[in-house]
């Protein structure tokens, strides 16, 4: 866990203690929202299994999600749907989701600094540090990646019940063979990102 505390410890040494880790999931899928999470962990948080959500099993993510939500000082979720993604592009939608996640967490805790995975969040009125592969280097960002991933996966499983042709429960909206086959047979649905599909499929 020590290697995951480098950025947090540097801020603690400067007297900055209320730190939000921010990460997103869902930039690449053909369907569904992009979801960001902001998580403020307490001092002394020590859960060695918290890591980049992509390295964890679904069962482990669910377990850690509950633990993080229970122990966090504050957390927030930001979600931007496919229609807005199509309007403003995925990068801007990602930043919007992150700002919304931070705003929700900030309503519950006096956040002093934000650690964010990879991107710079424009329009955020807080000091921030952008860390490449931050979900592998910061426990706060890793915690946010888990919260965001579990939240989005649950959403996509719910969408599967409504749109069963695309295997959203398994692919979570990513471009798998089964997903493309569903589009070929049934066209696109209400949650597809048209801007991601316009080169291949006409709107049906």
E strands of the chain, at which residues?
19-25, 34-40, 74-80, 113-117, 128-131
Q: Which fold has domain 2-152?
A: Nucleotidyltransferase; domain 5 (3.30.420)
State both tokens at 128: 């921030």
* Distant-in-sequence, close-in-space partners of 41: CB < 8 Å, separation ≥ 6: 8, 19, 21, 68, 71, 72, 73, 139, 140, 143
What mean pLDDT do residues 175-202 have?
89
Q: What is the predicted pLDDT for the residue at 46?
A: 86
What mean pLDDT do residues 83-105 have?
98
- pTM, whole model, 2 decimals? 0.95
- How far apart CA 181 and CA 196 sit, in angstroms, is 16
Least confident of 27-36, 40-49, 195-204: 195-204
Predicted confidence band at 202 (pLDDT cuts at 50, 70, 90)? low
- Per-domain residue ranges of the chain: 2-152
Q: What is the predicted pLDDT for the residue at 198?
A: 81
Is the pLDDT confidence value at 89 over 90?
yes
Tell me: the pLDDT tens digits for 103-161? 999 999 999 999 999 999 999 999 999 999 999 999 999 999 999 999 999 999 999 99
- How far apart CA 23 and CA 117 sit, in angstroms, is 5
Is the pLDDT confidence value at 27 over 60?
yes
Q: What is the predicted pLDDT for the residue at 203?
A: 47
* Distant-in-sequence, close-in-space partners of 33: CB < 8 Å, separation ≥ 6: 26, 79, 80, 81, 82, 85, 97, 152, 155, 191
| CB distance 108 to 77 below 8 Å | no
């Amino acid at each position: 866990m020590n290697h995951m505390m480098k950025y947090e410890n540097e801020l603690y040494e400067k007297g900055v203690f209320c730190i939000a880790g921010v990460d997103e999931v869902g930039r690449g899928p053909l369907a569904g929202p992009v979801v960001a999470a902001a998580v403020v962990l307490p001092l002394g948080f020590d859960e060695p299994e918290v890591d980049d959500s992509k390295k964890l099993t679904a069962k482990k993510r669910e377990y850690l999600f509950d633990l993080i939500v229970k122990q966090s000082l504050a957390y927030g979720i930001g979600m931007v749907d496919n229609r807005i993604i199509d309007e403003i592009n995925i990068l801007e939608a990602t930043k919007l989701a992150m700002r919304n996640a931070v705003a929700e967490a900030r309503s519950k805790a006096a956040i002093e600094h934000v650690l964010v995975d990879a991107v710079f969040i424009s329009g955020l009125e807080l000091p921030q540090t952008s860390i490449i592969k931050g979900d592998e280097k910061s426990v706060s960002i890793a915690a946010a990646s888990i919260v965001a991933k579990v939240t989005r996966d649950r959403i996509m499983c719910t969408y599967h019940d409504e749109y069963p042709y695309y295997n959203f429960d398994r692919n979570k909206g990513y471009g798998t063979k089964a997903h493309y086959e569903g589009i070929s047979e049934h066209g696109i649905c209400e949650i597809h990102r048209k801007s991601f599909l316009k080169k291949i499929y006409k709107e049906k």
